[in-house]
Amino acid sequence: MTKRLLVVALAVVCIFALTPMDQAHARKTFLAIGGGPVGGTFNYFANAIAIYLTKNVPNVEVSSEGSGGSAENVKRVHRHDVAFGIAYAGDIFLGRNGKLPKDTTQYNNVRPLAYLYGAPAQLVVLKSSGITSAKQLAGKKVAVGNAGSGAALSAERFFRTLGLWDKIQPQYLGYSAAAAAFKDRKIDAFWVLVGYPNASIIEASTQDEISLVNVHKDAQEAGFYDVYPFYSKVVIPKGTYRGQDEDVVSFQDSTFWIANKNVDEEIVYKALKAIFSPEGLAHMKKAHKAASDMSIQNAIIGLSAPLHKGAYRFWTEQGLDIPDKFKPVD
């Protein structure tokens, strides 16, 4: 009897040793996503993605890591220091082509997965000025953001393309300082690159009625999008600011969820399927209001590099038409 019990016990041990549970545990994948500075929008998005994927994609655990922001995430994802990251389409494009500021390295291992939210350009003038085109700002003082900021760089790209950078008087002022200078008539216009409604523009409109210039029209006529294809058209709805009586067309830099090209195709596919489910989108919108831009329809707005093969598979299944230049290259 004792011998028979011993045989049974050994058999049970062998069965447990070969269970799928143990095999599944061995297959668990640990990944990291690069966010941004603590308290910043990038960090909110990275944390929200990490939490939701860990809970809803089997055998995958994702952790969020702080970083210096977009350009750093492009570099870290390229090196596969992290699997995922959050980055601007502009930095993805410039990094891929070796044109990041003071850096000629080609960060071409980075693959976009999905559009998250946009940062529209907003060029503010007094309604009483009658200015309707950026071309009318020649000789004028224009606040363009802090020196070296994304806003200032985008303003320089825009005005240079129009042949106006050497004709305006750029003032390197942050948004709050620009609004104050605008109210005091020390500048004629100011430029921001941020989501709307913007607090500084609202502040500027408390004293006088303001207008937003249709920079999309100027950009299109000057071939701006040919030079900087990572910018995309966006509409700022009428009534966003006091005195804004009609929709204004502008352009935006797009924020993307990115991955290293070698991240497993199936993991990327399942990650997108989870985040872009109704429940996943609700989770993201609860984490940050900027996620209200996220949708299947908006998924490739401002795309500036070829998609990851897992992302391409997912978005084509959703019925999106992917331009040839953004189809996977590996």
Same domain, 176 and 297: no
* 206 torsion bin: left (phi>0), alpha (psi -120 to 50), beta (else): alpha
Same domain, 248 and 266: no
Long-range contacts: 165-171, Cβ < 8 Å, 24+?
167/138, 167/139, 168/137, 168/138, 168/139, 168/140, 168/141, 168/142, 169/139, 169/140, 169/141, 169/142, 170/142, 170/143, 170/144, 171/141, 171/142, 171/143, 171/144
276: helix, strand or coil: coil
Q: What is the pLDDT of residues 16-70, one digit of tens each?
A: 444 444 444 558 999 999 998 777 788 899 999 999 999 999 999 999 998 888 8
Same domain, 165 and 262: no
Q: Up-side HSE of residue 63: CA atoms within 13 Å toward CB?
A: 8
CA 69 – CA 80 distance, rounded (Å): 16
Strands 189-193 and 141-143: parallel
Cβ–Cβ under 8 Å, residues 122 and 198: yes
pLDDT at position 9, please? Answer: 45
111: helix, strand or coil: strand
Is pLDDT above 50 for 78? yes
Cβ–Cβ under 8 Å, residues 260 and 109: yes
Same domain, 139 and 195: yes
Q: What is the pLDDT of residues 86-131, one digit of tens each?
A: 998 998 999 999 988 789 999 999 999 999 999 899 999 999 999 9
Place of tokens 């985040």: 275
**In a domain? residue 36:** yes
CA–centroid distance for 252 within its chain: 10
Q: What is the pLDDT of residues 189-200, one digit of tens each?
A: 999 988 788 888
CA 49 – CA 271 distance, rounded (Å): 9
How many Å from the N-terminal Cα to the C-terminal Cα in the chain? 62
- The single-letter DSSP state of residue 82 is S
CA 140 – CA 19 distance, rounded (Å): 74
From residue 231, alpha-carbon distances to 55, 176, 207, 209, 264 in Å are: 34, 25, 32, 28, 29
**In a domain? residue 17:** no
Phi then psi for 275, rounded to 5 degrees?
A: -65, -35
Kind and range of the H or E run holding 180: helix 175-183
**In a domain? residue 297:** yes
Same domain, 68 and 150: no
Domain boundary among 205, 226, 253: 253
Same domain, 200 and 136: yes
CATH code for position 263: 3.40.190.10
pLDDT at position 150, please? Answer: 73
22: helix, strand or coil: helix
pLDDT at position 25, please? Answer: 52
Length of the chain: 330
Predicted TM-score of the model (pTM): 0.74
**In a domain? residue 130:** yes
> Cβ neighbours of residue 75 under 8 Å, at least 6 residues apart?
95, 105, 107
Residue range of the domain that includes 259: 27-117+254-326
**In a domain? residue 9:** no
DSSP per-residue letters across 231-245: EEEEEE-TTSSTT--
Same domain, 147 and 292: no
Is pLDDT above 50 for 12? no
CA 97 – CA 259 distance, rounded (Å): 17
The total number of structural domains in the chain stands at: 2
CA 302 – CA 304 distance, rounded (Å): 6
Q: What is the pLDDT of residues 268-313, one digit of tens each?
A: 999 999 999 999 999 999 998 889 999 999 999 889 999 999 999 9
What's the mean pLDDT when you consider all of the chain? 90
